[in-house]
Structure 1
């Protein structure tokens, strides 16, 4: 039996980068392999270990990199030498309304006990996690600066489907989910019918009705999901970019990835309050309520200075993924070196 499940399907994306998909066929509950020590868990563990032996080097350290408390069951699958937990959001709170989720906090506490190193995407997450772990490091979100900075260049054309939408265009690109304040978006659309509100990205089932209702406004345009490589052509045609998040703990502990893409593109940005970006008020607008948000939009549409745009671009340049990932890997290397001594 074990021979049938010795290796997972591993696709080589680069000379030292593989993506593997475990083969799990067990009658019963499909999540059965999530239970540590179960038959399914052992099968997946064996596949991972055998594949690592096949593609790796015996002298290499095996590192498990975990992103969510719900992945606690993944710890130990590879018989890893080192475990990294990258805490990206405040998972103990609901992303929809910020309510406390004690079961997730319990899972995260167990994960923190097993982790050798913890990275956090925001300072707020860093402050809370350092109370629970002795080796926590701040590792903010970054941006593919070279890609998104194309939107700031004169020779990049605006996407054809966006060209058809009247100016001025107020744009959001990202996951349309329970984090988004659809009441705010509706107020923006109703405030000025000459403003075009443009939304792009995948839609979670939890907000499908909200989006359908919002699109009843004639000046709201949903353009669907677009490949990442062509997003600069859409950012190029936006007059202002927005981060219209609900005000609750999940969002206030976040480090919005889209902010760095917007700034790289040289765009004015209006956002609801987020602790991580409070220091950037020289280059963005923060609004504590709906009325302030609409007022900030009016200012962003008419009062943008070239110096403000240039400053935003330079701040985003410092958040290049190339630089940030190098810093993270250096931290991992240092921790591994200390582990050897």
Structure 2
């Protein structure tokens, strides 16, 4: 039997949102001990309300015991979560030098406390590279789930320089989309598309009380950010006043075009485990993306979650949706959404076919591929 591996993972804040890294790492064998290090930031904070709230969350995490989580993804006992003290300023060489010393000291202590030895170094965020070479790691893995060169809210130049260091040092690169995979050396790159919590989204769920009671519903969940085509949604809401447009998630872009529309509903954030109750009762689940570099390189988790729920889906065209295009109502970016809603509403007969399309794409299957790749290291 192959000996278990220890991992130190530099990822986003555990529990803040259910990322692909969290889904994968949570499903590794229970005897693989994991030291999880929360994010040290991809840009210098600014004096905005959002950043001040984020800073407050970080401070609270430091003040609590290390193994905290927000309940979005269950944290198995073999995963030990730690909130590092570091300076979130990728563009500053002085900050990176300080972070290297701070992280090395903190991580060595956590590895000792958690009982880990010669871990595999796993970075899902390029900023983790500052600790590389200080922890006695046996191998280096870079998990790339986003195009950091175009990701909103990132100090692009310094972060991309950090990514290049990781690519050069990595023994294994895992890319979540084919477009991302083509950027890296093919001899050490594994293309691994996102999975889905199939049982969660396919199991019938009760209709939430805060959904509109009458009329068809077009719904979206996730960050309402720059990559969402707000104008497309506004035009559709005006063209289809009998439809309700439900948006679930934090608002991170200008939505003034949507404000005041009587059939537009902002519900705010909802826990991940509550989302099936919403999407299963949408008459059309939306992927209304703008045509951006970030979207062209992305592989959104919600696409497979929509499919697992069996919901009719309206999506703008982008590369990661193409394998499922025959199951979606596809429109070109910047085109009219309203006619596609009518088409999707009439497509409920294929709900079971949509579910079956991702039945074997669960996170357990993806984690098995990760386990095998790590064992080969």
Is this a same-fold pair by TM over 0.5? yes
Preserved CA contact (<8 Å) 2:195 2:361: yes
TM-score where L is the length of structure 2: 0.74
Matched, 1:321 2:374: no
Aligned residues: 306
- SS in structure 2 at match of 1:317: coil
- SS in structure 2 at match of 1:291: coil
Q: Report Cα offsets for 1:249-281 as digits up to 9, x if no partner.
A: 210111111011111111011111111221212
Alignment correspondent of 1:3? none
Residue 285 of structure 1, CA deviation = 1.8
Q: How does 1:201-280 map to 2 (within 5 A)?
A: 201-204=249-252, 207=253, 210-280=254-324
Q: How does 1:97-246 map to 2 (within 5 A)?
A: 101-130=156-185, 134-150=187-203, 153=204, 156-164=205-213, 166-204=214-252, 207=253, 210-246=254-290
Preserved CA contact (<8 Å) 1:33 1:41: no
Preserved CA contact (<8 Å) 2:146 2:297: yes
Q: Distance in 1 between matches of 2:172 and 2:126?
A: 14
Alignment correspondent of 1:44? 103
Runs of 4+ in 1 over 6 A off after TM superposition: none
Residue 321 of structure 1, CA deviation = 0.7
Preserved CA contact (<8 Å) 2:196 2:304: yes
Q: 1:113 to 1:276 in 2, by over 3 A?
A: same
Q: 1:129 to 1:23 in 2, by over 3 A?
A: closer
Q: Distance in 2 between matches of 1:75 and 1:286?
A: 43
- SS in structure 1 at match of 2:342: helix
Alignment correspondent of 1:68? 125
Preserved CA contact (<8 Å) 2:149 2:156: yes
Residue 138 of structure 1, CA deviation = 0.7
Q: Distance in 1 between matches of 2:242 and 2:131?
A: 51
Q: Quick check: which one's helix share is greater?
A: 1
Residue 212 of structure 1, CA deviation = 4.3
| Rg comparison, structure with higher value | 1
Identify which of 81, 86, 100 aligns with 1:19: 81
- SS in structure 2 at match of 1:83: strand
Preserved CA contact (<8 Å) 2:108 2:135: yes
- SS in structure 1 at match of 2:314: strand
- SS in structure 2 at match of 1:222: strand
Q: Distance in 2 between matches of 1:263 and 1:290?
A: 23
Q: 1:167 to 1:198 in 2, by over 3 A?
A: same
Residue 118 of structure 1, CA deviation = 0.5
Residue 333 of structure 1, CA deviation = 1.0
Q: Report Cα offsets for 1:178-213 as digits up to 9, x if no partner.
A: 111111111111111111110001222xx1xx2244
Q: Distance in 1 between matches of 2:125 and 2:79?
A: 22
Identify which of 339, 349, 354 aligns with 1:312: 354
Residue 295 of structure 1, CA deviation = 2.4
Alignment correspondent of 1:339? none
Alignment correspondent of 1:301? 345
